[in-house]
Structure 1
Amino acid sequence: MENEKKLKELFGTNGVRGVIGTEMNPELVMRIGSALGTMVRGTIAVGRDTRTSGEALAAAMRAGLLSTGCDVVDVGILPTPALQYLVREHYDGGAMITASHNPPEYNGVKVIEGDGTEMGDERTIQLEALIKSREATIADWRNIGRLTDERQRVEEYITSIVTQFPERICKGMTIVVDPGSGPAAATTPEILRRMGATIHTINARFDGTFPGRLPEPTPEGLAPLSEMVRATGAAFGVAHDGDADRAVFVDEKGIFIDENVTFAMLAGAACKKRPGLIITPVSTSDLIADVTSTYGCTTIATPVGSIYVARTMRRYIAEGQPVAFGGEGNGGLIFPDHQFCRDGGMTAAAMAALIAESAVPISRLTEKLPSYTMLKEKIYTDDPDALIKKVQQHAPDSPVFDETDGIHIRWKDAWALLRPSGTEPFVRLYVESKNPITAEDMKKIILEILNN
C-alpha cells in the first residue's frame, strides 16, 4: 500500500487540488474527465461545491466525460457525501469539483467509484497514467454521451439521513447551523428541521467567496456561531467544511468541541448499541480507543485518509467481522449503516439524536470523557522523508515505531506522528499525551531533533 501511495503524483490523500490559474485549470479537469470516462464507460454524476471556479471546472469535467461516450448527470451544488450516496444508489461513478477545506482560490476533483467510495490508490494510478499519456478514448460523433440534469435528487440524500432516526426525535431542541457558505446550506438545516428541531443559521447562502469565514471551520472562524448559540439558547451549534464531509461542534455555551471528542462521543454511542471494530487513522487520538474499549470494541489503525478507513471497514465486514464505527479525528465520521464515506450531514443528525436521547447538555457529555492533550505543528520542507528518518534515528527512550503512515512513535505515556501532508508541501507533526506537560515536552524534543 505504501508503494502505491508513493506512486501517486497528481492525486493526494483526498483528490487533486490546486490554485485556480496555476496548478488547477479547466484543461486539466477536462483531461481528468476524459481519462475517467475511458476507464468507467457508464453513467457518471458530476457535482460541485460553491466555489466561484466550480461551474467552469464542472463544465470541463462534463465535456471530458461526454467526449468519451459516457452519459453525464449534472447533480449541481451539493455536499460530497450527497454525491457519494447518489452514485452508490444510481450511477457508475462520480466526480466532485471541490477543494474541501482549502481557501477560496483553490479547487479540485474527487473521483467517486460506483460503490460511493473515493477511488483507491491502484485505480487512481491507472487514471493518472491515462491523464499523462493523453490516450483517452474519444467517441465519434454518433456515440458522444448524453447530458441530463437531476439536481432534485439531493432530496434522496436528505431523506436517507432523516429516516435513520425516530420520527421528530429532536422536537423542542434548538440548533444553530453554520454551513460556511457551502453546499450544506441546502441540506443540513433541512435534515435537522425534519428531525423536529428549530433551526437558526449563519453563513447559509451559497457564496464561493466565503464572506463569513474560510472553508476550514476553526474555533476562531466559528466565533459568530458561538455567539448565536448563546443568544438563541441553542442545544449546540454545528459547522461544516467546504464540501460538508466533515462536521464540528460548539456546545450550548459556545465552546468549541475538539473533533476527537466528537468522534469519541458518537463512536461510544454506536458501540453501546452494537459493539464491534472501530476503524480510524494513526493520527486519531487515543481517546477513541479509551472510550470505546469500555464497550468491548477494538480499534484498528489505518493510513491517514478517509478512503483507507472506508475500505478497511468494508473489508472487515466482508470477512464477517462486526464494524461499529469509523472516521478521522478531524470531524469526518463514517456511519456504516448509512454509507462508507465521511458525512457531515449524518454527523450533525447523529449528534442531535444523541443529545435528544441523553436529555442532558452536550457539555455534560464531554465533561465525562477522559482528557487528552494533542498538539499539532506544520513543518515546511522539500524533503519530508529526510525529516522522518531523522526523527526515527534520534527519538529518545526506545519507543515503538509504526510505519503505517509516515512514522508513528509510541512511548509509555505519549505518542507522536510525523507524516507528509497529502495536499500541501509540509510535514504534519502530532503529539499526544494525557499529561499536557508531557505532550509539550515531547513536541519540544522532536522539534529540536528536526532543527538540529
Structure 2
Amino acid sequence: MSLPIQAIQAAGDRHPKPAHLRFQYGTAGFRTLGNTLDSVMFKVGIIAALRSKKLDGKTIGVMVTASHNPEPDNGVKLVDPRGEMLEASWEGYATTLANTSTTEEFVEALAEFVRSAKIDLSKPARVVYGRDTRPSGPALVAALEDGLHAIGAEARDAGVTTTPILHYLVRATNTKGTKDAYGEDTSEGYYDKISAAFKKLVAGKAGIPPLVVDCANGVGAYAVEEFSKLISDKLQLVPVNADLTTPGALNNACGADFVKTMQRLPPSLSPVLKTGQRACSLDGDADRLMYYYLDDRDQFRMLDGDKIAALVAAFIVELVKNAGLEDEISVGIVQTAYANGGSTKYLSQRLPVKCVSTGVKHLHHAAEHYDVGVYFEANGHGTVLFSAETNKILAEHQPSTPAQSTALNHIVNLTQLINQTVGDALSDLLLVEVVLAHKSYSGVEWDSLYVDLPNRLVKVVVADRHIFKTEDAERRLVSPAGLQEKINELVRRYEAGRAFVRPSGTEDVVRVYAEAMVKSQADELAFRVAGLVYDETGGDPAQRPAEFL
C-alpha cells in the first residue's frame, strides 16, 4: 500500500505554508498566532494518522489549544496512546514536515519519512481530536480534518473540550476491553468516573464550604458546569469568569497564569471573594490549577503547584502508611528548578525528591519511575501516577485492621479520582478538596505547612539564546564560560540565596529565577543576575531589565 499522493496534493494545495514563517514543535506542540497555523494543522492531520499506523492502529489524540496564551494565539499537540505526550523523536519529524515549503516538497518528505521510520501504510489510522473555545479553533479543525481525510484516517471529533478530557479519551479508547481499561471512552465516562470517586472519598466528612472557581473565560467553564451537576450535594462550585462569547475575554486578567505571574487576585474576583474563603483559577484549556485565599487582613495568599504537591504528597504518604503498605509502595515527588526552596525542604524531609528539567514531559517521565509519583510545576500543572505494580499490590493486599482497610479504599479511590494521563485542573481541584476535607484544613492551615521563600522571575532579551547551555536539571550554566561562577559569587551574598539562568525554548530571551530570605533581596538578586547576563552576553539595549536602566 502506498501514500494517497493525489489526495494529499489536492488537499495540501488548499493549505499553503506562509513563506516567511518557521514552525517549531515544542513541549506544548506547535503554538503561535492562530491565523498562521492553517498549513500546520493540515500536516498534523497526516502526521497523526502516520503515528497511529506506526503504532499498529492505536488511537492518537490531537488537541487544538494554546492553553494559557492570549486569545489570538492557538496551537496543536499530539497525544500518544496512553494519553502521554508525543514521543520526543517525533517532535523533530513534525517540525521538519511542518516546515516543508510546497505541497510537492511535503509529499516527498512524507514518502522519505514513511520509508525511514518503517511505517506500514496498510495499518489502520485512528485519531480523536478536540479544541478549546478560541475563535480560530473551527477553521483550524477544518484544516486538520482535511489532512485526516486526505490520508484516509478514521477520525472522531470530540468537539469543544478540555485538554485533559482529550488525553483521557485517548487512553480510555486504547485500553477499552482490556485488563487495563481506564474508563468509558466518552466525556460522560470521564465525568462519571471522577465524580463517583470524589463522592466516595468525602463520604461522611463534614460539609465542604463552597469553592469559587475562576474559569479563565475558557472551556473549563463547561467542565465546572458538568461536575456541578454530579457533585453539588458534596461540594458547591461557584463559577466566575465563565464568559465564552465576549471577544478577547479568554485568559484576559484572569486564569491560572495571571494569578501565578501577577501574584494577586483576578480583578473580577475582588467583589466576590470573602475573607478566608478558598478560590482557585483554571487556565484556558483547564490543565493548570492555582489556589488562593484572602487572609484575616484581606491579603492575597497564593497556593501554587508547589503547595498542591506538598499537600497531596504528604496525604498519600500518610495513607500508604495507614494501609500498612509503606514497605511495598514508595512515594516520590518530582520538581523543576522553579520549585520554591521552602517546598523542596519540606518535602525532602518526608519523601524522595527529584529535580528535572523544565517541561511536563520531563516531570511525567521521571514520575513513572516511582511506585507512586507526584509531580507539579509551580505554575499549577501536575498529577499523580500509580504504577502497574502498585495497582496490582492495591488489588491484592489483604488489610489486617479496619483502619488499614479504610486507608486502602481511599488509595484505590484516589487512583480513580486522579487523571493520570496529564495535569488536569478539575481532577486536581477535587483531589485538593478531598485532602482538605480529610485533614479539616482551611486555606490557612494548608498554607502553613511550610513558608515560601520570597522569589522573583526576570526575563532578559538576548541576541542569541542558543549560547546558553545548562546542566544539573537546568540549575547550572556551563556556557557562556565563567558566567556561572559570577552568579555563584552574587548568590553567596544573600541569606538563603538561590538563582539560576535558563534559555527560553521559544523566544530569544533567558529567564532568571532568584530566591532569598527577604523579598527585597530576592528582587535585588534577580535583577543583579539579570544585569550580569546582559553585560556578559550583549543583551539588546532596548530590552535591558528596567531596574538597570
| TM-score, normalised with respect to structure 2 | 0.62
The answer for the alignment partner of 1:225 in structure 2 is 269
Q: Pick closer, same or farther for the CA change 1:28–1:208 going to 2, 3 Å.
A: farther
Give matches, 1:280-291, under 5 Å.
280-291=335-346
- Distance in 1, matches of 2:31 and 2:331, equals 35
Q: 1:353 to 1:101 in 2, by over 3 A?
A: same
CA change 1:382–1:250 in 2 (3 A) is same
Give the distance between the partners of 1:272 and 1:375, measured in 2 at CA: 33
Task: Output aligned runs, 1:264-413, within 5 Å.
Answer: 264-274=310-320, 276-295=331-350, 297-314=351-368, 316=369, 321-336=370-385, 337=415, 338=418, 339-386=420-467, 393-396=482-485, 399=488, 413=496
Match of 2:40 among 28, 34, 44: 28
**How do residues 18-57 of structure 1 correspond to structure 2 at under 5 angstroms?**
18-21=32-35, 24-41=36-53
Q: Retained in 2: the 8 A contact 1:226–1:237?
A: no
Provide the residue aligned with 1:449 in structure 2. 532
Are residues 355 and 99 of structure 1, via their aligned partners in 2, closer, same or farther at CA, if it must alter by over 3 Å?
Answer: same
- The question of whether the paired residues in 2 share the 8 Å contact of 1:252 and 1:363 is answered with no
- 1:293 corresponds to which letter in structure 2? S
2:198 maps to 1:165: yes
Give 1:89-100 correspondences, 5 Å limit. 92-100=59-67
CA contact (8 A) 2:495 2:516 kept: no
Find out whether 1:14 has 2:68 as its counterpart: no
- Counterpart for residue 238 of structure 2: 200
Q: Are residues 294 and 192 of structure 1, via their aligned partners in 2, closer, same or farther at CA, if it must alter by over 3 Å?
A: farther
Q: Is residue 236 of structure 2 the alignment partner of residue 153 of structure 1?
A: no
Answering whether residue 116 of structure 2 is matched by residue 144 of structure 1, we say no
**SS of residue paired to 2:258:** coil
- CA 235–360 in structure 1, closer or farther in 2 if over 3 Å, else same: same
CA contact (8 A) 1:191 1:349 kept: no
SS at match of 1:117: coil
Deviations 1:264-321 (A, max 9, x none): 33333333334521112222222332222232x111111111011111222x1xxxx4
DSSP-derived class of the 1:114 partner: coil
Q: Deviation per CA, 1:112-139, whole angstroms, max 9, x where unpaired?
A: 1111111132121123334335133699
SS at match of 2:227: helix
Structure 2: runs of 5 or more not aligned: 1-21, 112-120, 123-147, 160-184, 321-329, 386-414, 469-476, 536-549
d(CA) in 1 for partners of 2:363, 2:193: 22
- CA deviation after TM superposition for structure 1 residue 348, in Å: 0.9
| Alignment partner of 1:186 out of 215, 219, 222 | 222
Residue 217 of structure 1: CA displacement? 3.1
Tell me if 1:134 matches 2:102: no
Following TM superposition, by how much is the alpha carbon of 1:419 offset from its aligned partner in structure 2, in angstroms?
1.5
- Give the TM-score normalised by the residue count of structure 1: 0.74
Give the C-alpha shift of residue 148 in structure 1. Answer: 4.1
**Cα distance, 1:33 vs structure 2:** 1.6
Specify the code of the residue in structure 1 equivalent to 2:288: R
Displacement after TM superposition at 1:241 (Å)? 0.9
Q: How does 1:65-84 map to 2 (within 5 A)?
A: none
Evaluate the alpha carbon distance shift between residue 283 and residue 312 of structure 1 in structure 2; reply closer, same or farther with a 3 A threshold: same
RMSD over aligned CA atoms reads: 3.5
8 Å contact kept, 1:419–1:428: yes
The offset of 1:144, in angstroms, is 2.5
Q: CA deviation at 1:239?
A: 1.0
Alpha-carbon shift at residue 225 of structure 1 (Å): 2.4
**Alpha-carbon distance in structure 1 between the residues aligned to 2:229 and 2:429:** 12
Contact 2:251 2:283 in 1 (8 A): no
Q: Structure 1 residues 188 and 213 mapped into 2: Cα distance closer, same or farther (>3 Å)? A: same
**1:212 to 1:10, Cα distance in 2 relative to 1, 3 A:** closer
Please say if residues 252 and 361 of structure 1, whose CA atoms lie closer than 8 Å, have aligned partners that are also in contact.
no
> Structure 1: how far apart are the matches of 2:31 and 2:341?
30
Structure whose CA Rg is larger: 2
Q: Structure 1 residues 142, 386: CA separation in 2 closer, same or farther (over 3 Å shift)? A: closer
Verify: 1:439 aligned to 2:439, yes or no: no
Residue among 415, 419, 422 paired with 2:502: 419
Q: Shift in Å at residue 418 of structure 1?
A: 1.4
5+ residue gaps, structure 1, are 1-7, 45-69, 71-90, 401-407
Aligned to 1:241: 283
Distance 1:181 1:42 in 2: 38
Question: Percent identity between the aligned chains?
Answer: 17
Q: For the structure 1 residues 287 and 193, does the alpha-carbon distance in structure 2 shift closer, same or farther, using more than 3 Å as the test? A: farther
CA contact (8 A) 2:217 2:250 kept: yes
| Pick aligned residue for 1:105 from 53, 64, 72 | 72
Q: The residue matched to 1:110 in structure 2 has which SS?
A: strand
Deviation at 1:423, TM superposition (A): 3.3
Matched residue count: 383
Query: 1:252 and 1:375, CA in 2 relative to 1: closer, same or farther beyond 3 A?
Result: closer
**Could you say if the C-alpha distance between residues 208 and 345 of structure 1 is closer, same or farther in structure 2, counting changes exceeding 3 Å?**
farther
The alignment partner of 2:50 has SS state of helix
Point out which structure has higher relative CO (alpha carbons under 8 A, 6+ apart): 1
Q: Which amino acid aligns with 1:209?
A: P
Separation of aligned partners in 2, 1:395 and 1:204: 46
